[in-house]
Amino acid sequence: MIQRDLKRIKAETVTAIGMGTWGIGGYESPDYSRDRESVEVLRYGLEMGINLIDTAEFYGAGHSEELVGRAIDGFEREELFMISKVWPTHFGYEEAKKAAKQSAKRLGTYIDLYLLHWPGESWRRIEETLRALEELVDEGLIRYIGVSNFDLELLKRSQEAMRRYEIVANEVKYSLRDRWPETSGLLDYMKREKMALIAYTPLEKGSLARNPCLAEIGRRYGKTASQVALNYLIREDNVIAIPKAGSRVHLEENAGAMGWRLKEEDVEKVRGCV
């Protein structure tokens, strides 16, 4: 497994590929057979050595957090890294603290990295939320603070608003097909600041897995199109990709994106595939 030494997170060690939980289990209408299957898949990933799970209160109105809590039961908590997020409707000092406590209760544990899920419409509410999260770090409910879907301007503004702690991560949509973190300067800035960029939808809901050009490049490495698409992202030392933990087969394929590196002469060819 390739692991990331996240400088701003006190040299926290996490795998370069994590497990995303959007839409797992019965989701909006609990289906217990699907719930059980999702829990088993997550546990399989943990047994493989993938130690990062990404979830949110918004996913299934907290149901995904509950399933993650079931999945991590029995594993050494200190070896895992849990990410969750507060939805903009719960921004604000009191609301954010309450939301975090409810997420931690559903997970059955503290939260390693707690993110503001989307910017929302009010800067004042973002500031209040960041202040609440700093207090939650002091209380031990969360360990680190981050944001999600923040552009470069808003990320910098959020950094400046911090009083005692730092913004350590920004989770954004990033894939070979959607390379805006590269073209906007966000990725370069986050590399300089030693912040983790967490890439969601890295396989574009499976469409990159069916890309014949990526498959052709992958054959030269003994890898699949999906593995090439993921490796392109995690070749950057501060990038973590979180494809959905949909099945054991997918987890095994995702894990195969780690432990090797695209040659520089192939990077531009990979970009040209989409």
Which amino acids are annotated catalytic? 59
Alpha-carbon gap, residue 254 to 229, rounded angstroms: 10
Which amino acid type is present at position 231?
A: N
Rounded distance between C-alpha atoms, residue 236 and residue 197, angstroms: 9
Q: How far apart are CA 137 and CA 110, in angstroms?
A: 10
Residues 49 and 213: their CA atoms lie apart, in Å, by 30
> Alpha helix (H) ranges present in 74-224?
93-107, 123-139, 152-161, 180-183, 186-192, 212-221
Residue 264, both tokens: 């520089």
- Contact criterion met (CB below 8 Å) for 28 and 188: no
The pairs formed by 264-270 with CB atoms below 8 angstroms and a separation of 24 or more are: 266/217, 266/220, 267/232, 267/235, 269/217, 270/176, 270/214, 270/217, 270/228, 270/229, 270/232
Helix (H) or strand (E) holding 70: helix 63-72
CB 95 within 8 A of CB 66: no
Helix (H, G, I), strand (E, B) or coil at 155: helix
